[in-house]
Amino acid sequence: MKICLISFDFWHYDEHIVEKLSDKGIEACHINIGAFTHKNTGERIKNTFSKIFLGKNPKYHKRQSFILESLEKIGKQDQILVINPEAIEENIHKKIREYADRNIAYLYDSMARNPATHLHHFDTIFSFDDNDVKNFGFEKITNYNYLDHIPAEKQHPNLDLFYITSYDKKRLSALNLLINRLLPLKIKFEVYMVGKKGWKNKLNQIIDPKNIDILKFGRKKIPHHALPDYYKNTKVILDLMRANQTGLSFRIFEAMALEKKIITDNPTIKTYDFYNPNNILVLDKDFHNVNKDFFNTPYEKLPEEVYNKYTLDHWVNTVFKLNS
């Protein structure tokens, strides 16, 4: 069987899908749109000039051509999975359809945040967002647990709480409130904000000056392969929702693999079979339910059959119908 994945894999989550397929003996390839780069400095300068003075982005159009050139090299596929297809033009989707016996889309952004078009080209459309499943008739699937399982007793964390985020006004406002709830409890926590620093002058409008001193900043994002080391050093992982999104982030499943507790403001997590109030604290409106006992009690292990439902192996089998 030949399966191709097409995505803009900025955070390097999608590459795990290809690795899992290869482990199953499937001829799998990945057209990573995000990996396309300019050939040289001259092209990069021309692209910048075009964006600033002409309002056009040649790199965007070259990425579209890159998809077709890659498909021509690998040939017809049994299945093609496109993740977040809104990054691809209509005429390119028509061509992709010609290369696939079965064409699949997976949306791990909500339609409210990032409307996807051209969906009529797909045989199956999966979404992680409950509202989109209900409103558009998509098939529900969560993100996946791609990490190896490491029991809590084999870890020795120094922190009570850890959070990593890029600039997002809604999440930072929630973070500011939470920090003010945590400080009197003497909770040991770290928060990393990563990305370009242009937003730093906006923080005073969102976060108390005393809380800004607590944050750690980095221009570059933490490498994907390094995240588990950060998570292993904490008892609890913080998860704050983006605006107009109800789906569960990858943090939930990374925490599952590493047997970490979760604090989240996403109430939909209570509808999942892995929800356990001893492991998952769902914040109330004003975050008054944060308490120190949650940090001091041990993680309660999940039943094996529940844990396995959210592994990448189960995800791949479901999306590509490998067990049918």
Q: What is the pLDDT of residues 160-214, one digit of tens each?
A: 999 998 878 888 899 999 999 999 999 999 998 876 655 665 676 678 877 877 7
- The reported pTM is 0.88
What size, in residues, is the chain? 324
Output the six-digit token pair for 253.
């499943």
SS3 sequence, the chain?
CEEEEEECCCCCCCHHHHHHHHHCCCEEEEEEHHHCCCCCHHHHHHHHHHHHHHCCCHHHHHHHHHHHHHHHHHCCEEEEEEECHHHCCHHHHHHHHHHEEEEEEEECCCCCCCCCCCHHHCCEEEECCHHHHHHHCCEECCCCECCCCCCHHHCCCCEEEEEEEECCHHHHHHHHHHHHHHHHHCCCEEEEEECCHHHHHHHHHCCCHHHHCCCEEECCCCCHHHHHHHHHCEEEEEECCCCCCCCCCHHHHHHHHCCCEEEECCHHHHHCCCCCCCCEEECCCCCCCCCHHHHHCCCCCCCHHHHHHCEHHHHHHHHCCCCC
| More confident site: 203 or 48 | 203
Mean pLDDT to the nearest integer, 113-127: 95
pLDDT score of 50 more than 60: no
Strand partners, 80: 4, 103
| Sign (positive or negative) of CA dihedral 111, 116, 117, 122 | negative
Alpha-carbon distance of 8 to 84, in angstroms, equals 8
Band (64; pLDDT cuts 50, 70, 90):
very high
Percentage of the chain surpassing pLDDT 90? 71
Mean pLDDT, the chain, rounded, equals 89
55 Rama sector, left if φ>0, alpha if ψ -120 to 50, beta otherwise: left
Q: Phi and psi for 282 in degrees, rounded to 5?
A: -95, 115
∠ at Cα 184 (183, 186), nearest 5°?
70
Paired tokens of 289: 């339910």
pLDDT tens-digit series, residues 234-271: 999 999 998 888 999 999 999 999 999 999 999 999 99
* Residue 78 tokens, joined: 């049994």
pLDDT of residue 204: 67
Q: What is the mean pLDDT of residues 59-79?
A: 91
Can you give the pLDDT at residue 30? 97
Does the structure show a pLDDT above 60 at 39? Answer: no
Q: How many other C-beta atoms are found inside a 10 Å radius of the C-beta of residue 181? A: 16
Q: Give yes or no for residue 275 having a pLDDT over 60.
A: yes
**Residue for token pair 């119908």:** 321
Give the confidence band of 36 by pLDDT, cuts at 50, 70, 90: low
Supply the pLDDT for residue 12. Answer: 87
Note the pLDDT of residue 51: 44
